Amino acid sequence: MHFHVADAYLDTGSVLHRLDSRVKVVITVLLILLIGLTPMGAFGAYVGFFALMMIGAVLARVDPWLVVRRSMVALPFAAAAVTLVFTVPGRTLATLPVAGLSISEAGLIRFVSILFKSMISVQAAVLLMLTTHFTDMLWALGALRVPRVLVAIISFMYRYIFVLVDEAMRLSRARDSRSAVLAGQPERGQSVLFRARTTGRMIGNLFLRSLERSERVYQAMLSRGYRGELRQLSPPSLSGQDVLVGLIAVGVGMALTGISLLLR
């Protein structure tokens, strides 16, 4: 019995899947940066960026609606900006009957802009996840000179999170199979305190197991010649086509942001 994270990766074998993962990571990061730099209320640019994402989804042969749906995770975070509607000074659109709060036009524009910008940024990340296998992403991060230690930490996390969850599931199953009740006896498991204590012990147990595992893994690394420096096979050279795709995508983003900054 294994725990599988519903991996975000969706293999459709499209052109976007075959694109070099370094290029995809760079495009994604730069586009998110450009979206962030686009001024408030530049709705034309937002539509342009959104169209770019949808073109990406079509090229990746994934359902564009899936990309939009997954980007909804940004909504709760963006909603934290809702106070702007009431606090930014500007022309009053309406006054709420409670606490004398008034909705300002400038605040509303700012709030809606943040909402759009965060959703489109997440869409860029979702596209990256859908088209790039996690191990390729790790490799790309290493090839892009992200510090090895950080990449190694993410890599170990990805390798062992499943092992840990499996272990936790086995522990909780072992607990459940011993949680028996005799007829006529009061059920101890009802008490919140009792449950909390059991859970606490399980977490402690899991922590100890992980600690011991980390020692064994480290021994396995030492046995195979690890001496404090992690190495990676060097990346193959980029093809001109990959670079061109990257330049076009980033170029379109720069044009959108640039024009919207000029028109401000």
Long-range contacts of 133-137 (CB under 8 A, 24+ apart): 133/9, 134/7, 134/9, 134/158, 136/21, 137/21, 137/25
Q: Is residue 225 a contact point for another protein (CB under 8 A)?
A: yes
8 vs 37, beta carbon nearer another protein: 8
Q: Is residue 2 a contact point for another protein (CB under 8 A)?
A: yes
Q: Is residue 234 a contact point for another protein (CB under 8 A)?
A: yes
Residues whose CB is less than 8 angstroms from the CB of residue 90 and which lie 6 or more positions away in sequence, other chains included: 104, 105, 106, 107
Cα dihedral 72, 74, 76, 79 sign: negative
Residues whose CB is less than 8 angstroms from the CB of residue 131 and which lie 6 or more positions away in sequence, other chains included: 9, 10, 14, 16, 17, 19, 24, 60, 62
Position among 33, 75, 174, 222 found at the interface with another protein (CB under 8 A) = 222
User: Contact letters (x/-) for another protein, 18-37, by CB under 8 A?
Assistant: --------------------
Which residues face 94 on adjacent strands?
103
Position among 12, 87, 191, 219 found at the interface with another protein (CB under 8 A) = 219
Q: Is residue 158 a contact point for another protein (CB under 8 A)?
A: yes
Residues whose CB is less than 8 angstroms from the CB of residue 108 and which lie 6 or more positions away in sequence, other chains included: 85, 93
99 vs 233, beta carbon nearer another protein: 233
Return d(Cα 246, Cα 28) in angstroms, integer.
10
Q: How far is the CB of 59 from another protein (least distance, A)?
A: 23
User: Contact letters (x/-) for another protein, 126-155, by CB under 8 A?
Assistant: --------xx--x----------------x
Q: Cα 262 to the chain's mean position, in Å?
A: 32
Position among 1, 99, 184, 224 found at the interface with another protein (CB under 8 A) = 224
Q: Is residue 162 a contact point for another protein (CB under 8 A)?
A: yes
Position among 66, 196, 203, 221 found at the interface with another protein (CB under 8 A) = 221
Q: How far is the CB of 199 from another protein (least distance, A)?
A: 24
Which residue, among 25, 255, 263, has the nearest Cα to 138 in the 3D structure?
A: 25
Q: Is residue 227 a contact point for another protein (CB under 8 A)?
A: yes
55 vs 230, beta carbon nearer another protein: 230
Binding site for another protein (CB under 8 A): 2, 4, 134-135, 138, 155-156, 158-160, 162-163, 213, 216-217, 219-227, 231-234
